[in-house]
A and B are shown apart, each in its own frame.
Chain A
Amino acid sequence: MNPLSGYIVVGAILFALGLVGFMSRRNLIVIFLSTEVMFQGVVINAVAFSRLHEHLEGQVFALFLLVIAAVEAGLALGMVVLLYRRRGTLDAEAWSLMRG
């Protein structure tokens, strides 16, 4: 069995969990947390492949991803706060202005 499969399976599980959470939950903060989980799945993959190929690019990507995740967390939380102030609820259904 491929020495990497454990990592990949963990990454895939994390990603899938995040995806399911993203699509099934209605609370904006939980949705946002789910995206973070997806991020971590991707980061694990990146590190694992970097180790396999003996190449540092993957690690660099992982670092970038972490930074971006942090920045995104700041922005997204700010937005969630603003959205909450507008509607008084964290329900994502409250924001469906773009309905066709």
Chain B
Amino acid sequence: MKTLHANLSKEFLSHRKDADWHNDTLWFLRKKRDYAKDQLREWEQLRQAASEIKRHTLSRLPHYLEKFEQQASQNGMKVKWAWDGQEVNVLVTKILRENNVTSVVKSKSMLTEECGLNHHLEKQGFEVVDTDLGERIVQLRQEQPSHIVVPAVHLRKEEVGKTFHQFLNTEVGNSDPSYLAEEARNSLRRDFIKAEAAVTGVNFGIATNGSVVVCTNEGNADLGVHSKKVIIHCMGIEKILPGLKELSVFTRLLARSAVGQPITIYTSHYKNPRQYTKEYIIIVNNLRTEIYKDEGFREALKCIRCGACMNTCPVYRRSGGHSYHHTVPGPIGSVLAPFYNKEKNKDLPFASTLCGSCNHVCPVKIDLAGLLYKWRQKLTKETSQAVEKTLGFKASTELLKNKTVYKMAGKCARLKISSFVLKSSYNPWNKGRKFTDLPKETFREWYKRSNHEE
């Protein structure tokens, strides 16, 4: 009855040292985040404000999107709409072809990752280079990012050293982080010079002035945008904010939640294209309206992709991002994934203890544990379930609601034979644990015996 997530986690955990490192590294980020939030007395008010702004914006999403489109077009941006991932890919290809572009630098965007843009462009013969360092590492290895903020956190520096040696010709066995970073920078610099177009993701779209805001720590989006004549920003429909005043709440929350920094190093506003530059904004739906339509899950669209829920999640930290087998991993990923494929991702809402820590760190106060709980109810009914699981829970339901059966079963369990079964190695509970010694009598029996009843 093991799920895909459970199997992949087990595999991840079997490399004990690496798994420990993963856990410790992300816990370090969580601690930095705690320290950063403790510096702000108004932290909870900020979260509340962010949550309400997002709720308000979502409640008038079409209005703000239209306003944004209108403003951005007035500014000279070429605004396009894409219904799904495929349409994004086709649109980008078309733009690149029209402008005779063959190579592209990209700055990190989970949205284009979601659409499989890299893969699509490469198949069409374009050269695509991811310019965020972590993203570049996983790109070279032909892997998916395992975290939305630190995409290569599943790798240790030795592995990065090997990868760079293989693809960037660095020294054998050298895994000194400064050396590797320097070499990556040199190689990326060549890519930046060579490329003819830049693609970026979008953190926030500002409805009042039509600008897009991109936050990076490495400045790689800016290097692309400032040096290219063809620029494409890909923005999910949920990224919209009413105005700059609202944005100020989010710039204070984003980096603190993500890695404990007071602010992202580069928060760039792109509003008017430079002369001789063609700048596009592609506004992408890709199933977001499905989530939007479902009132019970709509709040998942509040997410600003800070990654805090991943850093705090004790399951994510111990099982690694790839165990979630979906573009966005961790708690929010598990909420989004079933929208993309119910059957394939039905295990993910169960890959949580529902401890609720994610709810508490989420800067926009998404009730992640509540949404996972909700998915569990839906998925149990709407997807195929292992027969033994359904039967098992059906049996427990009957057992726990019927006093006579319950008492009898309890009595049986106290008999030696059942106790033997409970403690045997066939009982899945006993993997890594020992079953507790059964008491001689239940509370009920004691209560009765000690004259509490007539």
Q: Are the chains A and B members of one assembly?
A: no
